[in-house]
Amino acid sequence: MFLSKIWFFLVALAALAFGTFALVMPRPAQREAAYEAHRRLVLGCNTVGIRLADAARKHVDLVATFVRDDRIIDAVASTSAADKVDDEHNKKAHVAGEAMMKAITADPPAFAMLIDARGRVVARVGFEDGDYGDTAAGRPLVDQALAGYLADDLWILGKNQLYFVTASPVIKRTSDFAYTGAVVLGYKASKELAAKLVIHDADEAEQTEVGFFVGPDSLATSKTVAFDTGALVDDIKGLPDKDRDNDCTNGHLIAMRSGTDDYDLLGARLPGEAGDRGAYYAVYTSSPDVSGFGGTVKKVDKGDLSFGNFPWLLVGGGFIVALGVGILLMIVEADKPLRVLVADTVRLAKGDADRLDENRHRGKFGSIARSVNIHIDKLGREAKSAKKDLDQLLGPAPEGSLGTIDLLATALPASRPGGAPSMGSPPPSEFRFGGDAPGMSAMPPAPMPMSAPPMMAPSAPPPRPQMPRPATPPPPPAQNLQAPGPQFGRPPTPLPMPPALQQGFGAGAPPMRLDDDILGAPGGSSGPIPTTGAIAVQAGTPDAATAAGGEGSYFQQVFEQFLAVKRSCNEPTTGLTYQKFSDKLVKNRDDLKAKTGCREVRFTVYVKDGKAALKATPVKDE
């Protein structure tokens, strides 16, 4: 199994390496995509800044042109001389302003403001038209215009309305060219203006959107998207104040989600008065789709998986090689040794071998074989002990005369390892073999459902299969006078049945296995008697005897049978008293109960080699 483990480790390592590679592989592409998105946004941001500056220059030129209109000059100059701005001044200036607005057709402004030399608003056109007379001087742009400069600025008017404004001085067309006022034109930062600033890629596949903001408030965007601008505002606040011209470069790419769409944003502060109040513009695009492993997988199309673009042969070949090597190693290291072990255990069960061959099995299978052999040795030692107990009770019994106990004690090796295996037959086993197992057809049908001998599991005996017990008292002893069955190896030696026994136990009764309790023969009345060269007389069952007259009655019955058999064998019975006999039985019964955990012990009287013998058989619970 070592090589198999190594192989599985290598396969897992390779899978880990490929998995890591698959997860890491999109990162460079993702980084490249993010870099490209940032680069595109920086470019777009700068482009928007340039376009806004260019528009400001055009607007300055425009206002400088229209302030030369005589109606504008006259309206403003007439008010500058007055102490206050009245309705007449306002109407005159308003008419002049409207005419100017109508004349600007190419890029019409949103509003115009006419201011006299004292800084008072003479008229407003397009924004709060009825409001006039207030002082606009003080606003930097107006001060610059009144001083004679052309300039631009950004104002926030009303409720967060952003305007790009330009101003020009109004100069009298007299010899002294006196400054007589100023005109301000305003262009609103509207959705239309933002749409004009949208940057389209060369292939029109993607476009960079534009939006104008004041703090967290979105004023106008080319594409209506609901942003949570908190992160963008924070980034704007972190831009260096002394390097406002490079906001697009110094800013950070901000990732935002709007609904189910992801966007990348880059902001830059707007200049002028509105810039001081937190106005800025931002360019944004949809985030690149490539995002991690999932995003990469989504981008895979059929062409990527075609035979021309993907090494299917290499991948398939690698898979087959990995699978083949794994299967081969499993066969060599697991399947084949397991089959060998199974065959060995089958031989053990069939009696072709009395132990497992530990040298044929390696590794864990060798451990299994050794464990099985150790247990077989243990059973042998326990059987020997039981045999010794009976020998002490009844005298040495002939070889093979004690049935199950005798078989276990003699068939198993005295010690392990290295001891010469006994050539005797194996003990009954719980193993069940199929009918097609080699050599099993020779087995008699009766012993097949055998359970393990009770003495093999003293502490926790396995449950016995339900067997019908005879409802009647134990069969007559004559039924037990049966030649031994073939499964115990030695050919039985039939002995002549004493007449007394034939009468007592029922002559002509069908033969009964001597250890039917152990072998579990159904009904206890069929199957051969498993004795070897012995005639057995079963003295009923302890339960039946107890029911009839108690334990003493059962022992008395056994005693009488034992005396009868001894006499029939012409053995002396002098000195054999019932008291001594029953004491031995009690002691032997208790010992067996302690060793095997059996419920009761059954004693069987039989003839072995012309001598009477007694066998104790544990009776397990049903």
Contacting residues toward other proteins, per CB under 8 A: 49, 52-53, 55-57, 60, 64, 83-86, 119, 121, 128, 131-144, 146-154, 164-166, 168-169, 171, 177, 179, 271-273, 275-277
CB of 108 to other proteins, least distance (A): 19
CB 104, min distance to other proteins, A: 19
Nearer residue to other proteins within complex by CB, 170 or 405: 170
Q: What is the DSSP letter of 288?
A: P
| Residue 277 CB, nearest approach to other proteins (Å) | 7
- The nearer residue to other proteins, 278 or 295, going by C-beta atoms, is 278
Which lies closer to other proteins via its Cβ, residue 184 or residue 376?
Answer: 184
Least distance in Å: CB of 94 to other proteins?
A: 14
Give residue for tokens 């309305």: 161
**CA distance linking residue 252 with residue 265, whole number of Å:** 8
| Measured distance CA(286)–CA(37) in Å, rounded | 9
Nearer to other proteins by Cβ, of 74 and 609: the residue is 74
Q: What's the rounded Cα separation, in Å, for the pair 443 and 83? A: 138
- CA–CA dist 592, 602 (Å, integer): 10
Which lies closer to other proteins via its Cβ, residue 243 or residue 289? 243
Q: 115: closest CA among 138, 81, 92, 142?
A: 142
By C-beta, is 84 or 302 nearer to other proteins?
A: 84
Least distance from C-beta 226 to other proteins, angstroms?
26
Give the DSSP letter string of 44-109: HHHHHHHHHHHHHHHHHHHHHHHTT-HHHHHHHHHHHTSSS--HHHHHHHHHHHHHHHHH--SS--
CB of 98 to other proteins, least distance (A): 20
Please choose, from the candidates 423, 401, 424, 337, the residue with its C-alpha nearest in 3D space to the C-alpha of residue 565: 401
Determine how β-strand 111-116 pairs with β-strand 121-125: antiparallel
> H/E element holding 169?
strand 161-171
Nearer to other proteins, 134 or 571 (CB): 134
**128 vs 217, beta carbon nearer other proteins:** 128
Using alpha carbons, list the distances in angstroms from residue 169 to 153, 231, 273: 15, 41, 19
DSSP 200-258: E-TTSS-EEEEEEEETTEEEEESS-----THHHHHHHHTS-GGGGGGHHHHS--EEEEE
Phi, psi of 618 (to 5 degrees): -65, 140
Count of residues for the chain? 622
Amino acid at 283: V
What is the C-alpha to C-alpha distance for residues 65 and 168, in angstroms, rounded to an integer? 9
DSSP letter, residue 449: T
The residue among 144 and 588 lying less far from other proteins, judged by its C-beta, is 144
Lookup result for tokens 């008010």: 79
Closest to other proteins by CB, 152 vs 354, is 152
The residue whose two tokens read 């392990």 is 416
Q: How far is the CB of 20 from other proteins (least distance, A)?
A: 51
252: Cα separation from own chain's centroid: 39
CB of 132 to other proteins, least distance (A): 6
- Which residue reads 């579990």 in tokens? 520
Q: How far is the CB of 179 from other proteins (least distance, A)?
A: 6
Least distance to other proteins, CB of residue 263, Å: 26
User: Closest approach of Cβ 287 to other proteins, in Å?
Assistant: 30
Please say which residue, 5 or 68, places its beta carbon nearer to other proteins. 68
In degrees, to the nearest 5, what angle opens at C-alpha 544 toward C-alphas 541 and 546?
A: 105
